[in-house]
Each structure stands twice: as structure tokens, then as C-alpha cells.
Amino acid sequence: MLRQRVIKTARDKKDCMNQQRSLSFIVQLLLLLCGLVCIITTSLVIMALRPSLPKAVEARSFVLRDSLGRVRAELSVDAAGNAALFFVDSLGQKKAVLK
């Protein structure tokens, strides 16, 4: 009688441990699934909120500067209304112009 009770208790304990492992595995899977859903949702929201890129860039002039911040070239419209590309030397003097 005592031996049967011990065997039944051991089986119950083993079944309980198996159920605990199964539940632990299910909880881990659910946490992984929730994490993936959060990542996908966040990515979609970020993509939806991202501003679209303009089809054209417009300005009165474009200036190219070197690593020290000095102007080295400029694309702009001159006083006569013609587009011109100016190249500037290291002293800031215009050395070449393409019109």
C-alpha cells in the first residue's frame, strides 16, 4: 500500500514536472511571438511616418566646401541670369567659371 502510494506520488511529480516544462515552453514561445509583433508593428509605424523624399532639390545656389569649411566651388545664377559653375582656389579667389 505504501509502495503504491510512493509510486503514484512519483508519477504525479513526474507528470507535474512535464506539464511545467510544457507550460514554460509555451510561455517562451508567446513572449517571442509578442516581441516579433512589436518589432514588426514599430517598423511599420516608422515607415509610415517617414517623410517622402522630394522629387527635386531647388535652391538659388549650391556651395561645395572643403574640410575646413572654405568655399571651393559654387553652382549658381550670375547677375545676367545665366547658370554658372565657379571654381575657387584655396585663397577664396574664383579661378575658373563654366557658363
CA–CA separation, 52 and 18 (whole Å): 53
Residue 60 burial (C-beta neighbours within 10 Å; 0-12, 13-18, 19+): exposed
List beta partners, residue 86. 74, 97
Q: Number of H helices and number of E strands within the chain?
A: 1, 4
Report mean pLDDT in 10-residue bins for the chain, 99 residues.
Answer: 64 81 92 94 88 81 91 89 90 86
